[in-house]
Amino acid sequence: MKLHHGWNKATPVFDDENLISCAGVVPLMGLAEQTALSDLITDKVRFKTTRVKSAAANPAGKVGSIVAGMAVGADSIDDLDVIRSGGMKRLFGAVYAPATLGQFLREFTHGHTLQLASVLRGHLVNLASRCDLLPGAEDQVFVDIDSLLRPVFGHKKQGASFGHTKVAGRQVLQKGLSPLATIISTPGSAPLIAGVRLRAGKAGSGKGAATMVAEAITTARAAGASGEILVRGDSAYGSSEVVAACLKAGVRFSLVLTKNSSVTRAIDTIDDKAWKTVKYPGSFEDPDTGELISDAEVAEVEFTAFPSTKKPVKARLIVRRVRDQAKLDELFPVWRHHPFFTNSTEKIDAADITHRRHAIIETVFADLIDGALAHMPSGRFSANSAWAICAAITHNLLRAASTLTDSTTMAVARGQTLRRQIISVPARLARPQRRPWLHLPEHWPWATQWLQLWQQVFSPRTGPPLPA
């Protein structure tokens, strides 16, 4: 592209009251209203005592403003001012200033964040009944749990402390806050956030995991998961509490166990002939023998976990072993073993591949870090907790909107892609004969998907909003 001549004589002026920089927020917030987000907030989030009386007024409108700003790409409280630009006030009522929203977030306590977390779960259920968010939920649904460490700086962040995280594949000690998240997905869907709980940076990864898993399972069933549910997690969640929560809920589990002496002894009992090659991407068949050539093998052994507790659990210990690439010159092969504990009925190689797909939760974390969780914007711990839950509500709302575009590619697209193609679409507001028109850019590459979303949200056949 080349700029035309004469622009050095042009005069830019920010004075258009009818120009909208993010027209995709209109159908998105329309979908939020149809799925009773405001009603859920009004019914569940209640402030009995406040520091500033006006700060807690109209929580539904303020949370809606935060969600709309996050959908556009705001990653701090000041960035929420984007929803007041141009003609946005002509499209929406109760558009609040960032200072008001920041004051509102600072009114949150631990109890209020629990109330907002119940809004997240209830809204996810409403979204699932409005959109096909979990295709194949009648067959199999996955619940994944994991945590991350978001770095913070300075001395005024409540709850900030040093915790372990990985940077470039290495364990480092970093000061931050640690959100624990559970997600729900099916083999054919994008992952949805069932719960987010903010913790101190030094908190153990498995702290509160059993409760989070139980809530996620309940939410998954309420959202239409009538088939088998499999809970997946890494070694931080391979605990007796999490396994007990899974068994109590009647679901299957696939959890990594921390390697200890009993696990090592169980691995040593596996016969060399029991190892089976796994077909991973990159593996191939020998053209002469037809034998599968892969750098990973799996085997299983019956194992009793948590023998020192009141309720030991007997299930399958599936072990994946990989040749140690740092010791290829050894006379005998040196293997690294990766065990996980499961009561899945899948074949051993399929169970291993299914377990490794637990990494899908990392895509959710990447979306959140690329959006609202780029920063922890407040000095108050409860305000940051509420901010993280609002980010989860926004994530699920974007996922629901992407399914209504009827585009297979867009249904599993990243949040940044959805913001660029669907949400941040410039438009000009006009009112011929008092009827609102949005004039959008000609030749917009994703106009078909955008209009499909608009028609799905505002078509008369969509019916009235769902009850709270």
The strand ranges marked E within 37-155 are: 140-147, 150-151
C-alpha closest to that of 20 among 99, 92, 96: 92
| Amino acid symbol at 184 | I
Return the CA Rg of the chain.
25
Q: How far apart are CA 141 and CA 138, in angstroms?
A: 8
Task: Report how far apart, in Å, the C-alpha atoms of 16 and of each of 94, 400, 428 are.
Answer: 21, 32, 9
Backbone φ and ψ for 320, nearest 5 degrees, come out as -105, 130
Spatial contact of 381 and 158, defined as CB atoms under 8 Å apart = yes
C-alpha closest to that of 347 among 396, 402, 276: 276
Q: What is the pLDDT, as a whole number, of residue 164? A: 81
One pLDDT digit (tens) per residue for the chain, 468 residues: 888 888 888 888 888 888 998 999 999 999 999 999 999 999 999 998 888 878 889 999 999 999 999 999 999 999 999 999 988 888 888 889 999 999 999 999 999 999 999 999 999 999 999 999 999 999 999 999 999 999 998 888 899 999 888 776 778 888 999 999 999 999 999 999 999 999 999 998 899 999 999 999 999 999 999 999 999 999 999 999 999 999 999 999 999 998 899 999 999 999 988 998 877 665 555 455 555 456 788 999 999 999 998 889 999 999 998 877 666 666 677 788 889 999 999 999 899 999 999 999 999 999 999 999 999 999 999 999 999 999 999 999 999 999 999 888 898 899 999 999 999 999 999 988 888 889 999 999 999 999 999 999 998 654 444 444
CA 108 remoteness from chain centre: 22
Domains, the chain, in order of start with CATH, read: 29-417 (3.90.350.10)
Q: What is the pLDDT, as a whole number, of residue 464? A: 43
Q: How far apart are CA 446 and CA 425, in angstroms?
A: 10
Q: What is the pLDDT, as a whole number, of residue 466? A: 47
Residue with tokens 């052994």: 301
Half-sphere exposure of 77 (CA within 13 A, CB side): 21
pTM for the structure as a whole: 0.92
Q: Can you tell me whether residue 285 is helix, strand or coil?
A: strand
